[in-house]
A = this chain, B = another copy of it.
Amino acid sequence: MGEERLSREAILTTALRIVDDEGIDALTMRRLAATLEVNPMSLYHHLPNKAAVLAGLAELVFAGLELPDPGDAVPWQEQLKDAARAYRNALRAHPNLALQVLSDTSAVSEVVVVVVEPFYRALDRGGLSPRQIFEAVNTIIDFIHGFALGETSVRSETFDLAPDLLTRVQDLPAGKAPTLARVVGELGPEGLAYDFDSGFESGLTVLTAGIAAGVRRGR
């Protein structure tokens, strides 16, 4: 049977569709084979095992990743933020896969090499030393990973933390977390309504300011 009804690429494409549509738990070898109208064991001719399928998915997602480089026309801080936004968007593109990608060490390091150049470009223009650049990029990428972790393990676009957090804080033994209680109280329910986009932006603001401060201080 030299004719190939199956291919690594076709398998991964179908797998990605299953994950996108029904979540990571819906992806089983049997289910994948059924969708391709093929015997489960046929998959093992193109991919050695299920772990390879998952790794392949991570690869597939980031293979098509194009980072729009804003160029050197804008200030380096803005260039840095744009790189961060693009990377966050890449992690958001397949939310059901994000956790898998993030927790797969090899996928992360693969991705990081691909994605990291715009960060380095921006920070190099900012006048940081190689060591500073290296550490700043690690920091900002860790932030994006942590943010994506919270963002992708939740359904709604604008997730309202308010009721939950307010309730929890009020249920705490009095005096256990006084500052938290007071600050949350001053914010009020509408102040606590959490929007991922603006949360991400304020994180970027803090990070770029911190990096810039390190440069100014000449550290």
Contact = CB atoms under 8 A, between A and B. Distances in A.
Contact of A113 (B105, B154, B172): B172
Nearest 9 interchain pairs by C-beta = A210-B210, A146-B146, A145-B146, A142-B146, A206-B210, A117-B177, A209-B210, A209-B213, A139-B203
Interface stretch (A6-14, A27-35, A53-61, A129-137): A129-137
B206 A134 contact: no
A212 to B, nearest CB: 7
A199 interface: yes
Interface stretch (A15-23, A38-46, A185-193): A185-193
Which of A117, A182, A208 has the most CB atoms of chain B within a 10 A radius of its CB? Answer: A117
Nearest to A177: B117
A169 B113 contact: yes
Contact of A103 (B121, B136, B153, B161): B153
Interface in A118-153: 120-121, 124, 130-131, 133-136, 138-139, 141-147, 149-150, 153
Given A134-B187, A145-B149, 13 more contacts: A105-B154, A108-B150, A116-B180, A117-B179, A121-B179, A130-B191, A134-B191, A135-B202, A139-B202, A139-B203, A139-B207, A208-B210, A213-B213
Contact of A207 (B109, B149, B206): B206
Given A103-B149, A113-B168, A179 B124 contact: yes
A207 B139 CA distance: 9
A191 B131 contact: yes
Contacts of A192: 134
A133 B183 contact: yes
Nearest to A151: B142
Could you say which interface size class chain A belongs to? 35 or more
Nearest to A153: B105
A164 interface: yes
Given A113-B168, A180-B120, A130 B207 contact: no
A176 interface: yes
